[in-house]
Each structure stands twice: as structure tokens, then as C-alpha cells.
Amino acid sequence: MEVAANARNPAAKRKFDDAVSNGVAAPADVDLSLLEAIEKSQNAVEALDLRALKKHVLSFERRLKDNIEARLKYPNQPDRFADSEVELHEELQKLKVLAGAPELYPDLVNLNVVPSIVDLLNHDNTDIAIDVVQLLQDLTDEDVLDDNDDSARVLVDALVDNSALELLVQNLHRLNDSDPDENAAVYGSLATVENMIEVKPAVAELVCEKTKLLKWLLGKIKVREFDSNKQYASEILAILLQSSTVNQKKLGQMNGVDVVLQAVAMYKSKDPKSSDEEEMLENLFDCLCCLLMPLENKERFVKAEGVELMIIIMKQKKLAYGSAIRALDFAMTKYPPACERFVDVLGLKTAFAAFMGGILRGSRRERLLSKFVENECEKIDRLMELYIRYSDRVKAETERLNQVELDDLEMDEDEKYNRKLESGLYTLQLIAVILGHLWCSEHPQMRGRIELLLKQNKLSKKHIKDILQEYHDNIGDLDGPEEKERAQTKIQKFITAL
């Protein structure tokens, strides 16, 4: 630790750290067993109760007062307030013992010490601020707060009310990654934010509303070189986006779609070098998929040539191959312009790369349907193979549920339907929808192939119709009544055609 005036003096910092950590240097012939005993006694966990808590808080407040007075009295003489800084550092270290008694957090809040602790994130001495980051990280640690939900919420509410989010993010901007202690404090700050979100999910939107954390995180993932904090930044960004449409839209307005695309583009022709880097890449794609949920961000994705980038990644067949497909799925869902761009830039050729073959001229729909005629309808063969496989799975699950129903009268139809979905019914329904599309094309070769394969497996078109009817009857209205009606009308068209 160092005082402000010695911020650029490593030697002074080392001397100060030695004084805090080691005390007076021990002679070479000191009994090692004695030193070990002393160390164990220093590390012993203090049994905490309300009385001990008040003692810790009072001692901390005194040291804080001494430091404030010394700095005000001798603002230009660091050596005059250095001792008070050391003592304040020691008190902050002692407060970490509070993490061992989370049930006392409400008492800690009632003692009104949280504002004093949080304010130290603004301390002129960066190392004091780092001490506070470490303390907050310890107090909000997931393992510490486990089974102490009420106490955890009291503490997090107090931290939010006393501007901890704002000060944590402000402090991030003055921390230097090249300094080991400050680099660790960056990680600790992000960990504290994550811990607070775990206790109170609303913090995810609050921290983006009240601070510039999103901007800072974007700056982190822009950096080409990989490090642990870039990895953690990608993880925190994904957490902030996962459950908040507000954050998704806000990041989109900050050019976030383009920044995330640039970050994943670094891996279009190369694989990550470590498991940690792999995790970061997956986090980045999680961010991208979350960003692609609002309609306006899908538009930004297409304009930023995101479709083309995903196709390039797919062609390279590197580690990000599957993630690129997932991103395209999010981009094209309920957004025709992305689908059209995908077809126009020969995305179908890449999607059907395993089967080879050229792209025929004609409308986008015709070009898609033509893929199912290639090589003697081999894609329809594969489609029917999957249909039979999942049909058998659903049949087996249905029979099992019918047997269970005899012993468990409480199982209702909704629960049975959900069990069937989990066993593969949803996949079977999607395959049936594709078959319905193909049948409605009125292409004689495709129709003939479907009928032949059904007959070979002792099935009829009625089997597909029954699957489609069940799908039709269970379409929900999550996207609104109009979307539900539109979807049901399309499925009914397939049923009628069959």
C-alpha cells in the first residue's frame, strides 16, 4: 500500500507493504515453529456477535476520522498522514471478518457504517479504494450469502442506496491493469457487481442506468489481447443483457452490436488458445444473441454485415462454427430482411455445405425448395429419418405416461404435454412443419418422396396431420393474439393440404 504522494514510487510502496504485512524483520535464527504458531493465531477466525461487530465498527470509524483530519491538516505533507493511512488500511482488513457472520449484516447496516465504507472508494489513495473493493467482494461473496437471503438483500439495498454501484464503476476508470494489485481490484469490482445482481436481479438494470459500466465493458472487449479481465468483462456483459430488454436496447444504441461483432471477428479464422479464451468467445456470442432479441438490433446486425460475418465463420469451421449458427438463428427469427440477406449472400450454400451443389437462380423460396430435390431428394430422406426417430421417442414416452397415469391421478394434460415436449415432441413438430411447407410447394417429386418414405415406415399423411394438429392447438399467445392467429392459420393450411 502507498500514500498518494508516493503513487509512482515502487520502492516506497514496497517499504510500506513490508511494514504493514511483516512488521519488524525476524532474525535468521528465529524458531520457525514459533513463527508458525504466531501466524496461526493471527489467522484465527474471531467469533462474532453484535458486541464484537460494534467494536469493529467503532475502531474503523475512529481510524477513518483520524485519516480525514490528518489529510485536512497536512494536505501537502504525505508523511504526516501516512501513519493514519496505514491504520485505516489495517481496520479495513479487520472488517473482512464480518463475512464470516452474514446474519449480522442488518446490524451492520443499522450502525450506519455502510456510507463510510462506500465513500472510501473515492479515497485519494488508490490502495485504500482497493481495500474497500476487496472488502465488498468478500461481504457479497456467493458462498458467504448462501442461505442468508434476507441479510444479503439488506446489505445490497444499503450498498445501492449509498451509491456503491456508481463509485465502483468510477473507480474502475482509475485502475491500471498493468499493476497487479489494481488488476485484481478490477476483477473484484466486477465480482461485486455480479454478486449484487445475484442477490437482487434489478441491479442489472440499475447499474446500467446509473453508471457508465456498459461503455467500460465495451472498451474492455475491444482490446485485441486476451486477459482474465477481458474474459470477465464479457461474462458480466452477458449477465447484464440476458434478462433485460432495456439493457439490450441501450447497448444497441451505443453501437454495441458492431463492437461485439468486431470482437468475435477476431476468431473468424482462428481458435482460442486456452479454455479461458474459449469461455470468453462463448460469452461474446451469448452477448450477441441477447442483443439480437430486440427488432432494432436485428436491423443493426444486418447493416453491420453480421450475416456475412457469421457465414464466413461457418465456412472456416473453427470453434465458433456452432455459435455463428446460433447467432444467425436469433437474427433471422421474425425478421425477414435478415433471412433475405442470408439467401442473397449465398448462405444456403454454406448451410447445406455438407451436401455440396450449386445455387439455382430464381426466387428465394424456390432456391430454398430446390435444395430438397438435389441428389434424388437426399435431404428429404434425412428429414424423414429424423421424423421417424423422434416419432418413436414420443410414442414411447406417451405409452410410459399412460402407464404412469394409472398410478398418479394428479398428472394433468398440460404436464403430460410438457413431458412429451421434453422427450422430443417439439423437434418432431418442427420437422412436421417443414414437411408441411414442402407438401404445400406442390412439387410432384417431393410429394412422391414423402409418400414413399411414409409408406415404407408403415405411416400415412394422417400421422403428420395429427402432429401438426397438436402443434396448432397448443400455440400460445406470448407474441400477441395476432401472431398466434397468423401461426395457426399457416399450420391449418398445411393440415388441409395434406
Q: What is the CATH number of the domain that holds 191?
A: 1.25.10.10
pLDDT band, very low/low/confident/very high, at 489 (cuts 50, 70, 90):
confident
Q: Is residue 25 part of a domain?
A: no
Nearest to 82 by CA among 20, 144, 143, 31: 20
How much is the pLDDT for 32? 56
Rounded distance between C-alpha atoms, residue 314 and residue 326, angstroms = 11
Range of the domain at 315: 4-10+49-355
Same domain? For 324 and 390 the reply is no
- 466 lies in a domain? yes
221 and 114 within one domain: yes
Distance of CA 59 to the CA centre of its chain: 40
Give residue 59's pLDDT. Answer: 95
**Residue 324 belongs to a domain:** yes
**The pLDDT value given to residue 249:** 97
- Grid coordinates given for 262: 468486431
Q: Please identify, among 355, 388, 407, the residue that sits at the C-terminal boundary of a domain.
A: 355
**Res 129: pLDDT:** 96
Q: Is residue 41 part of a domain?
A: no
322 and 277 co-located in one domain: yes
Q: What is the pLDDT of residues 81-104, one digit of tens each?
A: 889 899 999 999 999 999 999 999
**CA gap 198, 202 in Å, rounded:** 9
- Across the range 306-318, mean pLDDT stands at 91
Please identify, among 355, 381, 416, the residue that sits at the C-terminal boundary of a domain: 355
pLDDT at res. 486: 82
Same domain, 405 and 336: no
User: Structural domain tally of the chain?
Assistant: 2
Q: Which three cell numbers stand for residue 83?
A: 501513519
Q: Is the pLDDT of residue 451 over 90?
A: no
What is the band of 375 on the pLDDT scale with cuts at 50, 70, 90? confident
Task: Output the nine-digit C-alpha cell for 23.
Answer: 512488521
Q: What is the pLDDT of residues 455-487, one digit of tens each?
A: 888 888 889 999 989 888 888 777 777 788 888
- % of the chain residues with pLDDT over 90: 52
Same domain, 314 and 421: no
pLDDT of residue 414: 77
The answer, yes or no, to whether residue 415 has pLDDT greater than 90, is no
Whether 116 is covered by a domain: the verdict is yes
Q: What would the mean pLDDT of 394-414 be, rounded to a whole number?
A: 74
* Confidence grade of residue 401 (pLDDT, cut at 50, 70, 90): confident
Is residue 69 located within the same domain as residue 185? yes
Residue 34 belongs to some domain of the structure: no
* Burial status of residue 347 (CB atoms within 10 A of its CB: 0-12, 13-18, 19 or more): buried
| 390 lies in the same domain as 439 | yes
pLDDT at residue 358 tops 50: no
Residue 457 is assigned to a structural domain of this protein:
yes
My answer on whether 271 and 414 are in the same domain is: no
> Same domain for 190 and 258?
yes
- Whether residues 115 and 140 fall in one domain: yes
Average pLDDT, the chain: 85
Please identify, among 355, 389, 410, the residue that sits at the C-terminal boundary of a domain: 355
The answer to the question of residue 407 being in a domain is: yes
The answer for residues whose C-beta is within 8 angstroms of residue 406's C-beta and 6 or more apart is none
| 76 and 158 co-located in one domain | yes
Q: Are residues 416 and 289 in the same domain?
A: no
* Top-confidence residue, 139 or 20: 139
Residue 246 confidence class, pLDDT cut points 50, 70, 90: very high
| CA nearest to 136, candidates 158, 103, 110, 106 | 158
C-alpha dihedral sign at 261, 271, 312, 331: negative
Q: Name the one residue in this structure whose C-alpha cell is 439490450.
A: 248
